[in-house]
A and B are shown apart, each in its own frame.
Chain A
């Protein structure tokens, strides 16, 4: 019965301990987890544990750039991240040459919010047509067919004014079919202000007086991007019905204008699609080349000539064909990584955080200052504690109390005067300012004195009789006997020095002299809120002390107990 009760109590103890442990460790685990994530994973809700950085392949969201006018035409179709990315890079997309297709990669692992893709691994790019198949392109283009269709569409009438305007604008390109096609699709679908833009076109239609198709058309307002060919065909059917039903002559002419607009587009589109005879037989596989914008072609149809990348865009140049043939297509981009590349992806945030601030210098300064402070502390504190514990001289205990009393004075109180004193020594912005003032610690002296007190005085007397000096006794007998307490003191001073912030902030003003906490603080200010990199930086500033703690933990804890704070 009693045992049962004890078991229940232990159960509650463990529940409480686990809750406390989660409270203590959980944030640190989450920090390390976040440090491996991509930007988009950090900025996703609800948060998740995993990261695609650990996976050997990933698909990237990408668009074909379809217009000369620059950005993807419809910002509302972009995700917030992609929009921010496109705004921050502020690139104006100019198509380098008519042979080159530009692919804008959006959903890739990012650096600094620009949405740049990780520049490693193999990219598998598939151009895909409306049916979800690999895209096609023409190998021979007949100019006579082109002229025929141009003549045919020029003869359609009546047309609405903006279509008429566009067609007359296009007439200047008749000698250059490629330009004609590009500008045609620009005007109708993909340009900055296209005729078949979903909202405007439908709204215009709905404004036609005396018509009875409002309800049928309203559904086309839903959806993203310009109207597609299939939708246009349906609209055309609805309009023809309406044309038969309506009696209002004004409305009749209006409606027939719109029907002709759509017919004109569909005629041209049919011609355009009919030209594409050759199908891609395989996706394009590209590999990154170190420190170069060029992309290596791993495997590709013969029509692909070369590829390069700039920012978050990929450019593919074709032989014998032009990018205008892929205007109606979409693109899927997949990236494959080998083991080392996965590893590189995984630690991407660490590398970029390390490179975006002089963390090497900060690290060296931190280690140097902390080690120097600790060593000086041990020497000075041991000496003082030994004198307080084993030597006799007038005023010993009064001096001891005076030293202990300083524990009550926070150093921030003395900051102003300390600054002025260090300034007068000419030590501002030097290692002296970071090391010397901290090379004696009252608390450590207190701990060590407690420990030395527990060494019997007889031992000291015996050593003296044997001819050992107090100095020799201290370093060969007393110190080894109090090792745990000395290690505790060393760890406390090391931690204090490694983590000190305000002092370093005030006593130094250049990056050369700064230690990790101040460097990290600067990094936070300079880099903005990219939490994956910030967490990576926080993690690597903690690593040395965490290792030191794990390594010396045993001594540390027993030192605490031995010192017997009472």
Chain B
């Protein structure tokens, strides 16, 4: 009896917050999902069940310049090419030492074969089934041989960057069509695809730079002997200001004629940049602003993680004669990985919500022209608030949610084994 009473008390504690979560989070989540299958133009009017056609409408492709399969084939061939070359490169880096003899054969054969086939693979034979087969074979072979490369495992990020680099090289040498360009072509005619494009562009610039700069800020705040509090306050100050005020401020800093940035560029003889009136610079501009706004906040989270690392590790390392770079790579970075992971997830979710900056910087428009600043949240806002298409907006919102979920899950899966909890 007493136990039951305790249970009831426990639930009573939950009630106020739980009601709010149910009313404004869980129920809306279900309700938006439901709405995304309906065509409704007013808030109270008749909703017509349309099945998946809202989603289909969002991803309508229009006329494609070339088939999806061709683009896919090109992408695949290039990706495996970049993969093979990268593995060869990494194995070579490692084998310079004592592993040279052991790995010599695959390391010589793979690049030679790869390079002898570079040109045909990249240009007109890109879509050939025979080529795909060959390159997949190479990929599997090189993966098999490179399984034991310790350097690759240690520097996964570098490896991914290397793949990306070789992919880009291959793209520019060969026939310039792949999934990426196809996607861009679709985006020209479909504003939702454009918004996905822009949002990813923003995330790719924003998240790595934010993490890098905030990690640097965290390390500095940890290691400086004096004026810690001053720098902490300084770094955190931008986060306190509202995004509207901050965007307004940067509107002024980015001003073409009188802005301080173009003035500072003039010290180095660089001609003024039209920050706010160029489609290509729209997302980088917004990203600079966002990095500035958030790096202090994430820096503080990094700092709290750094202070939780046991000082003994550093002392031991110092006795062993490790320099500061080695201490960072072998102690700080692995022990900080839970925090890095947390910051990655949070900043990624945060970056996908970019809206206000664009709204203020571009005067309520999605970018200076050609929808260059149309982000996914902007698309949702616009379809919902201006066009009153609740169903379509809900469908778009669910796709945003889906993308965030998938990316977060990927992050969980890829970092699960590497993140070192509780040492």
A427 shortest CB reach to chain B, Å? 11
Do A524 and B360 touch across chains, with their CB atoms under 8 A apart? yes
Do B18 and A566 touch across chains, with their CB atoms under 8 A apart? no
Q: Is A24 an interface residue (CB 8 A)?
A: yes
Q: Is A289 an interface residue (CB 8 A)?
A: no
Within 8 Å CB of A560, what residues of B?
A: 300-301, 303-304
Within 8 Å CB of A387, what residues of B?
A: 10-11, 13-14
Most buried by B among A9, A384, A498: A384
Given A403-B21, A412-B397, A414-B25: A42 in contact with B220 (beta carbons within 8 A): no
What is the 8 Å Cβ interface bit string for chain B, positions 208-233, against chain A (1 contact, 0 not)?
00000100110010011101011111
Q: Is A330 an interface residue (CB 8 A)?
A: no
Closest to A541 in B: B245
Within 8 Å CB of A396, what residues of B?
A: 10
> A501's contact among B6, B217, B242, by CB below 8 Å, is which?
B242
What is the 8 Å Cβ interface bit string for chain A, positions 419-458, against chain B (1 contact, 0 not)?
1110100000000000011011010010000000000000
Rounded to whole angstroms, the CA-CA distance of A394 and B249 in the bound complex is: 51
Within 8 Å CB of A326, what residues of B?
A: none
Do B390 and A420 touch across chains, with their CB atoms under 8 A apart? yes
Given A564-B304, A565-B339: A24 in contact with B249 (beta carbons within 8 A): no
> B304's contact among A379, A437, A561, by CB below 8 Å, is which?
A561
Do A10 and B225 touch across chains, with their CB atoms under 8 A apart? yes
Do B232 and A392 touch across chains, with their CB atoms under 8 A apart? no
Do A393 and B6 touch across chains, with their CB atoms under 8 A apart? yes
Q: Is the interface of B mostly helix, strand, loop or mixed?
A: helix
Do B355 and A502 touch across chains, with their CB atoms under 8 A apart? yes
Do A470 and B7 touch across chains, with their CB atoms under 8 A apart? no
Total contacting residues, chain B, CB less than 8 A: 102
Rounded to whole angstroms, the CA-CA distance of A417 and B405 in the bound complex is: 19
Do B35 and A520 touch across chains, with their CB atoms under 8 A apart? no
- The number of residue pairs between A and B whose CB atoms lie closer than 8 Å in the complex comes to 285
What interface size band does chain A fall in?
Answer: 35 or more
What is the 8 Å Cβ interface bit string for chain B, positions 250-271, against chain A (1 contact, 0 not)?
1111010110100100100000
Q: Is the interface of A mostly helix, strand, loop or mixed?
A: helix
Q: Is A380 an interface residue (CB 8 A)?
A: yes
Q: Is B238 an interface residue (CB 8 A)?
A: yes
Q: Is B240 an interface residue (CB 8 A)?
A: yes
Rounded to whole angstroms, the CA-CA distance of A410 and B407 in the bound complex is: 14
Q: Is A312 an interface residue (CB 8 A)?
A: no
> A28-42: which residues lie under 8 A (CB-CB) from chain B?
28, 30-31, 34, 42
> A537-558: which residues lie under 8 A (CB-CB) from chain B?
537-538, 541-542, 545-546, 549-550, 553, 557
Within 8 Å CB of A495, what residues of B?
A: 239-240
A431 shortest CB reach to chain B, Å? 15
Do B248 and A47 touch across chains, with their CB atoms under 8 A apart? no
Q: Is A156 an interface residue (CB 8 A)?
A: no
Q: Is B364 an interface residue (CB 8 A)?
A: yes
Within 8 Å CB of A542, what residues of B?
A: 240-242, 245
Q: List 12 A-B contacts (CB under 8 A).
A: A10-B225, A13-B223, A21-B235, A46-B266, A384-B16, A408-B405, A412-B353, A417-B29, A440-B20, A553-B233, A561-B303, A566-B421
Known: A9-B324, A20-B231, A24-B292. 15 other contacts (CB 8 A): A16-B220, A30-B252, A45-B258, A396-B10, A415-B384, A415-B393, A495-B239, A520-B245, A521-B359, A521-B360, A524-B251, A541-B244, A561-B308, A565-B342, A566-B339
